[in-house]
Structure 1
Amino acid sequence: MHLLAQALSLALALSLALALLSIPFPSPPYPLYPPRTSMSESPRDQILRLRAAIQRHEELYRKKHAPEISDFEFDKLVDALADLEREFPMFAGPDLGIGDDKSEGFQQADHKAPMLSLDNTYDEADFRAFGDRLYKALGGTGLEFIVEPKVDGVAVSLTFEKGQFVRAVTRGNGARGDDVTANVSLIREIPRSLKGAPDLLEVRGEIYMELAEFQRLNTEREAEGEPLYANPRNLAAGTVKLLDGEEARKRRLSIVCYGLGACEPATAFASLKEFKTKLKAWGFPIRDDIDVQQGVDAAWKAIQQLDVLRRDLPFPTDGAVVKVNRLEDQRRAGTTSKFPHWAVAFKFPPDQAETILRKISMQVGRTGAITPVAELDPVLLAGSTVARATLHNADEIARKDIREGDTVRIQKAGEIIPQVLGVVLEKRPAEARPFDFEARLKELGLDAARDGEEAAYKLRAPSREMKIRRLVHFASKQCLDIDGLGDAVAEQLVDLALVDVPVDALGITPAQWRMLEGFKDKSVDNMMAGLAQAKQRELWRAIHALGIPNVGMQTAKDLARHFKSLDALEAARSADLLQTKIGKKGGVTHEAVIPGVGVEVSESILSFFSDPNHRDWVRAMREAGLNLAEAAAVAAVAGVAGKTFVLTGTLPTLGRDEARDLIEKAGGKVSGSVSKKTDYVVAGEEAGSKLTKAQELGVPVLDEAGLRALLG
């Protein structure tokens, strides 16, 4: 009987794990990664496969900001692994922890108090079980709860020392995260100094992007024909980790603060409510939509209330967070290595709808990347009418077997752009045929191929739209700054076959300019003068104008400063960009030669210049007389050359970009954060933590007059 019971137990556990890996959650008809290899897989193989799947999805979510499955699906994988490892402890692996969001290119900093994640629950029974466990742990005393909207963003810890903001760090692995102070300092709502604060204070919060800002950025991308950002959470996470400070400034992030990390003295606050009230008085953004709740029943009603309120919130939210209010109760309840016992996240069911996918269209971006788009019968979803949804790439269409004419299930789960979860197979028309991506490209006259090992297809030769967008980018203020060469003019130049590649614009004659609608003598003279000025602009502008993927304005400046000429950059090899190191255990790591130019950017640069067409562009730029060399620093301001400056606050007459340009033209470098290597901090009004840190490190501080004097 004992052997029979053990065999039945084994069969049950295997069936459960197989089911969880092959049945969609909550109902999308596609398998989770990785696919089942055999019905007779051993428990050990099942466990290894589940662990690989979990680690892959952690990487996609935390580091690449491109999750492929929902939180619900991910939690089911984790539950399946836990069940199997409990049943077969001899095959259990090490604790997977809470994941790790640390990225290449950032310095790391320790959290004074661990920054844990939250356990998720999806139904009332599980939530009440959480309450029961707390009552038992705390001796049956009456419990108070704080109930807040769960902001779908990026967790961050803000450190204040002696009341001054000194550091912002991501969750990382819970003990140590990335120092993202430079980008987080751009969030205006964060106070720089606190009156009457404890000596040490870690304020925990969530960085997010408001829906209106997300829509603004996507409107710009749609106008440029670029693939749309998938959702605010991924874009916020990507912005926090941007190494290009100029690009980060173009995106407005927000923050909501809600939690207490380390605090010295530890007795400064008695409850979470008291702490949040103090945060509000200091000027931190908080959410106090719902007052303190007495007991589990009241907390459950508050969760339901938030489910209604969330429709009108300015940020994406996918649930409610419930936390014990009294800090002494939190300490008594304790934590695991991953989660506190005194808090839980209740995840709201995602908004879903069914509609018919009528057609799959193709959208071409500036770089030639092709994004498939689902054209849908309009359907109301989460308060808005949805008629289009991104399908990402050909592999995604094939993986979900999406066909034109299918009834599809679409979802918004903290998303603005809806995602196609999958097909309702029982409603599939008999005449529906598998979608042939390459046949559709040929039908549309798009000559495209896969971009190396990437999933995306790219045009082999640029389309009309692609030529126009490249030219507009080439002439933009962030590149060669050719005044008057905008969308309308670019369209005419391409349609008249005067421009095939952007550099062609530099060789257009006055007679050819007069062929354009609205171009009379004055307009032609102004354009010729603008083109002459463009040829003399800084090297970094020429590099940025090339449109190298992943190379923004700041990276272009860093490349210009390092290589000194476009010829040298074009001739660069991998070793000029990355140093390869082999560890004691044989592990290979890559170190950036130029700060901020990591593996991904380096691969983009090398790939770009390996294309003969792109090398032809550089030759044409050279023949057109464009400046392709870095100007030497002005001798009269030799004290600036090679020095590192940090700008903070608002200067009386100089804008931040103007000050940066003056410093860089004189041979200096502008950094986003203060360190022992900083030579000067230039401080204006409302200078915050950077000024404080400079004073602590003894870094010389200049005002605008001092900067101008140094520049001569």
Structure 2
Amino acid sequence: MNLPESVSARAEYLRSAIEQHNYRYYVLDDPSVPDSEYDRLFQELKQLESEYPELVSADSPTQRVGKKPDTGFAEVAHEQPMLSLDNAFGEEDMAAFVRRVQERLGTAAAAPLAFACEPKLDGLAVSLLYEQGLLVRAATRGDGYTGEDITLNVRTLPSVPLRLMGSGWPQRLEVRGEIYMPRAGFERLNEQARAADEKPFVNPRNAAAGSLRQLDPAITARRPLEFCCYSTGVVEGGSLPETHAARLQQLHAWGLKINAEMRVVEGLEGCRDYYTELAAKRDQLPYDIDGIVFKVDRLDLQQQLGYVARAPRWAIAHKFPAQEEITRLKAVEFQVGRTGAITPVARLEPVFVGGVTVSNATLHNMDEIARLGVRAGDQVVVRRAGDVIPQIVQVLEDRRSGDETEIAIPTHCPVCGSDVERTRLVKRGKGREQVSEGAIYRCVGRLACQAQLTQALIHFVSRKAMDIDGLGEKNIELLVGRELVRSPADLYRLRVDDFLQLEGFAQLSSENLYNAIADSRTVDLSRFIYALGIPEVGEGTARALAAKLGSLQHLREAHPLLLTWLPDIGLEVAHEIHNFMQDEHNCQVIDDLLAQGISLQHEAGIAPALQGSISLEMLILRLDIPGVAKTGAQALANHFEALESLLAATEAQLSALPKFSKKAREGLLACLQRPEWVATARALEQQLLAFGMHWSCEPETPAGDVQQPLLGQTWVITGTLEQMTRDQAKERLLALGAKVSGSVSGKTHALVAGPGAGSKLAKAEQLGVPVLDEAAFLQQLQQWSAS
């Protein structure tokens, strides 16, 4: 059969492209395309060579494993080749693999056939050689036949034992596995790189490979690398179990890490179930995986099945849908959020990635655009992992045509036309402020900007805020578009006739929505605080503010330094709260809401635990005097006994003070010379007095003891509750003093499980955590209320 010229040319192109990608991936550790594109090129070449056998040549990528390793390390010839695996990209490929295995084994295939299943870690394959139980050599996979000696680097990994534990190991034992970088370590490494103004790594696999190729082992030692074994190679002078899974368990007993998700299943159906299960939890794993490796478990059957040119017949890698793909960035548009933040959004040529078609991706802010060096028209790598918003992780600069355009922040809001200003970062410490430019740009239009108004209202009416049923995003947009609502308070001015003007509303639905808005006028203080949309104040912080300060008026008056005495509120968040409450526009919005009849429930005084709780020593420490730490603050408080006496202190008095250093004395004297510091100290003491938190104040005797029988306990809620919502159950538990967590651990006191409970229930049972169904939980609540 004559070979078409176009086919020959295509095969030559594919070989060249694959070899180039191999070089970038294995030698430079700088891949130019995502794995999904490489896999497509490889599969296309295999298909062509299958249809036209005369195309096959000895140097074809399909007849070898990879590229020659970097020459920066000594070469190591593998005594047994480290072959790669064939891939399955769907259920049909997996079914075909199982069918081929069964056909080749014939009567030798036990029914059903057992398969060992392991996550396919995205790292660097390595070989560890142990002689007499001691690690003598570590090598990379390289091209499968020759690798690189990385012994000194691998010895720095805590997860690699230098001496095997126990006894009974073979005289020579080759352990094969993957060195990878967990996600948390990868994020820390990139944070450090950005802080040092260095180029961050693109992904954990790249970071792991780069870390192992350091000529200085001390650098490798500082990198968060881990080793996980998945097979053996050479075994001499001893024996190992006769199944793959049992061998790994034996290696684990000798001190080597194996994957906790490893399992043995039966038949194709077992493989499918395992694939589905692991795919569902893929994004919760602490490391990256790109598929699952399935291996015939019995080693005698593996030997009978044998190998093809580059891969074993007894194993296959079932790949997950690609999480990275290449597409074109068509344009960048700018969206306006609830706080006025201008966020760039990438508009992409649609691409199928991570199991869905993606046409938009986040770019975070202009600093991220500058870091990536992205331009409109660029070819980019888009990553999507599970439910995470798609993001651009790499720009393919070598594919630029010259027609790409720079991306600039708009000078005016794309929605309302107001000015756009860059935020400032204020770093506070030792009584001083350092101001620098922030990464966020904001529209200054406030609620006059329809985008900000719409987002603010969506947050205001949400379930955890004012909880106005029936007033969803679409209806908010209709009300804002018709200019029926210009602020949150306008919601309470609406009449039934106003809703009848909106598309989809009839008399009954209009009356229902009107009543739902009216009912929301009575609201818990913590929900109202959360509904206001104060920057950095989430549901938990809003609850703490309400519980500790007791009233909206206290919150509106609170000095930022006073707020830092509340749980989990740092200085930056305190300033955000204070600035929000002192802003004239925000004050008007709050006053307008109260004028519309908002009735705040559970308002009270300052929490009993805070009454009379702030000592002079604590006040001195909070004033952040240079050189004055706890010992110095204690000395000042003991000597002067009152703030006014301290503010009148002389250098002679301070010099005579025991346990008070020269540095502390100079720091305090400098503060006393600054009128704004003195004014802050006096204002803070006056507020402590007004709030009853001052050391001279007597704690009020509560009318009745507040029972918190669950104080110090951690509870978890899972499944669907029928008598109350999960939010209501959470609020009941919080009121009783419990902490409500989203995950089960050994510290969990109890789990409330409704119908549909899944992995949390299983983990609770595994850990022996008490489990209550809804009926038992309600009964327990009644008992606590009665006691």
Decide which structure has the larger Cα Rg and report it: 2
The higher-RCO structure (CA 8 Å, 6+ apart) is 1
* Structure 2 length-normalised TM: 0.44
* Structure 1 length-normalised TM: 0.49
